[in-house]
Amino acid sequence: MNPTQFALAAAQLLALLVLPNVMLGLINRVKSIWAGRRGPRVLQPLADMRRLLRKQPVYSKVTTELFRLGPVVALATGLVAGMLTPMLGAASPLAFDYDFIAFAYVLGLGRVFLMLAALDTGSAFEGMGAAREATYGALIEPALLLALGALVLATGDATFAGLLSWSDLGPFALGVKALCFVVLLILLQVEAARIPVDDPNTHLELTMIHEVMILDHSGPDLAILQYAAGLKLTVCAALIAGLLNPISWLTQPWLAAGVALGLMLAVAVLVGCIESLIARVRMKAIPRYTAIAMIAGALALLLVVLRSKGSP
């Protein structure tokens, strides 16, 4: 690893630790502006996390060590997923061939332990949330793999950095990227529990998904889970930024990193605008909404296959 790559890896680690709270705060700030309110400051999520870290957690007598392990695994998998993601336009610190497959499995592992921690409470209510989380996670994962498969065939590369740094700007490439953008945006909304799939601020029990699974967590455990949710949001935004970044990290690494960072913040603004302008969809409509990502991923793969068969 040359000095530039080492510096970019260190910058990515720093961004991975700092950006989750900034992204969440920026989304809340944008929503406040749309509502005509002054709203909280951008770094308010950091202050909330510090407040929770100073509190004493409360554990039910029916829970086991699995309940305490859930937040730790959710945080660890979020960090590993972030280290697998080419966040600043460059190769990720943990890059290897077919690292995007490991990325999907790491996200799935975090989801499984979060559901197990919810089930460990013995609450039928949290069990309902875990069942919903499993259902919608199973619906979005095939769409992600279809989009990644399309990028693999289109670029001929086997690493995350190679897939997302596709520099072709022709009509065919732009069409495939547009379809993959749809997949990644819906992936962000499902994984990070954002509107229109879920609402992190909801108080209506019958429509809760992610929030219902963490009702029994308190103090530092709740802070960790909120930070892990911000990590997922940041990682998914980094995927979108990498797909849209017009600057190659191979030729202009620091410019590509700056553009990637700006695009990630722009994704946060976009998420805030979406959540301000549309309402959450009904629970029974979420599978149809995630089907849009499935169709977009399948169309992207079909376009690439037809192009490869038609090429000389």
Place of tokens 């996390």: 49
Place of tokens 């732009």: 174
Structure tokens that stand for 76 in this block: 């660890």
What pLDDT is recorded for position 283?
Answer: 86
What pLDDT is recorded for position 203?
Answer: 62
Structure tokens that stand for 137 in this block: 């996670």
Per-residue pLDDT of the chain (312 residues; tens, 9 = 90+): 678 878 888 888 999 999 999 999 999 999 999 999 888 899 999 999 999 999 999 998 999 999 999 999 999 999 999 999 988 877 788 888 999 999 999 999 999 999 999 999 988 888 988 999 999 999 999 999 999 999 999 998 888 888 888 878 789 999 999 999 999 999 999 999 898 898 887 666 666 788 889 889 999 999 999 999 999 999 999 999 999 998 877 778 889 899 999 999 999 999 999 999 998 888 889 999 999 999 999 999 999 998 887 655
Amino acid at position 299, single letter: L
Nearest to 251 by CA among 167, 307, 156: 167
Question: Which region, left, alpha or beta, applies to residue 36 given φ > 0 means left and ψ of -120 to 50 means alpha?
Answer: left
> Rounded distance, CA 81 to CA 51, Å?
26
> Rounded distance, CA 87 to CA 264, Å?
9
Q: How far is CA 289 from the centre of its chain?
A: 17
Helix (H, G, I), strand (E, B) or coil at 191: helix
Cα distances from 201 to residues 28, 209, 211, in angstroms, run 11, 11, 8
The predicted-structure confidence for 49-96, as pLDDT tens digits, reads as follows: 999 999 999 998 999 999 999 999 999 999 999 999 988 877 788 888
> Rounded distance, CA 269 to CA 184, Å?
16
What pLDDT is recorded for position 253?
Answer: 84
Radius of gyration, alpha carbons of the chain: 19
> Rounded distance, CA 194 to CA 127, Å?
20
Q: Cβ atoms within 10 A of the Cβ of 230, count? A: 23
pTM of the entire predicted model: 0.93
**Residues in Cβ contact with 66 at an 8 Å cutoff, skipping those fewer than 6 apart:** 116, 117, 120
The predicted-structure confidence for 179-203, as pLDDT tens digits, reads as follows: 999 999 999 999 998 988 988 876 6
Number of H helices, E strands in the chain: 11, 0
CB–CB of 58/42 below 8 Å? no
Exposed, middle or buried: residue 274 (CB in 10 Å: 0-12, 13-18, 19+)? Answer: middle
Q: Show me where the domains of the chain are located.
A: 3-310
Q: Cβ atoms within 10 A of the Cβ of 56, count? A: 7
What pLDDT is recorded for position 310?
Answer: 63
Cα distances from 95 to residues 77, 183, 232, in angstroms, run 16, 22, 18
- DSSP states of 205-228 as a string? GGG-SHHHHTTT--HHHHHHHHHH
Provide the 8-state DSSP code for 281: P
